[in-house]
Amino acid sequence: MSFRKALGAAALVFALTVAAVAQARPLIVYVSPNPIGVNDFLKLGRVGIEAAAKEVGAEAKTFESSDPTTQRQNLEAAAKAGAKVVVAVGFEFNDLVPPVAAQHPNVTFLMVDTCVPKPGPNVYCAGFREYEPSFLAGAEAAWTSKSGKVGAISAIDIPFLHRFTDGFIEGAKHVRPDLTVLPTLWVGGSNPFSDPARGEQRAAAMLGDGVDRIYAAGAGSNGGIFKAMKESPGALAIGVDVNQCPQAPGYVLDNVEKHTDKAIESSVAGIFRGNQPKFASFGLKEGGLTLTGLRPDAAQSQCEIVKYPEVIAKLKALRGQIESGAIKLSDPMMAK
């Protein structure tokens, strides 16, 4: 065999080997409940599975859904594609994952930010205690409010989202009992998690009632809430999921950050190792949730809370009381 032919044969063997290795890599699929678009929370899901795939040597794919029909179709498509782990984010999958998981017992399903009462043997859950940092958000809203009126706006009136809104109200009243907390407003409509126009309308109504601190727990609708702040000098919003202060500098006090990406990365790695608990809960103590203002790099966050160092000090002390159990918080979702 000539040198050229030998070299060509070796190259072919190498190419086939690479292809075989690539084909043998396990697959992780992230199924979103809605188009990811401007939804920072859903963006974190994609970041999480990509990080998880890198850690365990797998391939990551994202299937975006738009309604209950495509949500189920994507779950089934992921399972039939040979996924080792299918990650479904959001309460929208509560009625969909159990039957699909039962039909595909060799596929592991990870439900994130939600769970079902009796997960099947191949279903795992990763949830968050959103009411803990929301309690802190209510406290900082109360401590910084000049008008003595605060309120919350979220996407839709469902038990899960009361973990944000009720937690906020409880924290505000805990540190300032004389404070006026307006009734929570809901974005509603056909696309409540990504409707900035309706978010702006709700915020304008609340600001018109004299509120100067608004907890914006509307996901992709928050952009409209932030826009409304600009029409009310001195009013500030508190965002969710990621640091949203750079989106509206000067109009966002702080954020309740939910590290969905870290929860997914940790949980998928645990599934691959074989030691993942059926239900993993992430809160302040586990680092799954925090306020941007309590991060070590808060000075670079562009959040208005950095102008209130005395409030940050009080928030740190309050966080410590929650983590130690000195302040016991109940899950608002359990009361709904």
Residue 218's CATH number: 3.40.50.2300
The pTM assigned to this predicted structure is: 0.82
Q: Which residues of the chain have pLDDT under 50?
A: 1, 3-22
For residue 332, give both structure tokens. 């608002």
Do both 90 and 164 map to the same domain? no
Q: How many folded domains does the chain comprise?
A: 2
Do both 174 and 295 map to the same domain? yes
* End position of a domain, from candidates 101, 128, 155: 128
Q: Is residue 238 part of a domain?
A: yes
Do both 119 and 178 map to the same domain? no
Do both 135 and 107 map to the same domain? no
Phi first, then psi, for residue 302 (nearest 5°) are: 70, 15
User: Do 163 and 316 meet the contact criterion of CB atoms below 8 Å apart?
Assistant: no
d(CA 322, CA 284): 8
User: Residue with structure tokens 């595909």?
Assistant: 104
pLDDT of residue 39: 83
- Indicate the average pLDDT of the chain: 92
pLDDT of residue 37: 87
Q: How many residues does the chain have?
A: 336
- Three-state SS string over 15-66 comes to HHHHHHHHHHCCEEEEEECCCCCCCHHHHHHHHHHHHHHHHHCCEEEEEECC
* End position of a domain, from candidates 96, 128, 160: 128
Q: Which of 229, 222, 224 lies closest to 244, judged by CA?
A: 222
Do both 75 and 202 map to the same domain? no
Q: Is residue 272 part of a domain?
A: no
Do both 159 and 214 map to the same domain? yes
Do both 104 and 171 map to the same domain? no
pLDDT of residue 38: 76
**Domain range holding 102?**
3-128
Q: Is residue 280 part of a domain?
A: no
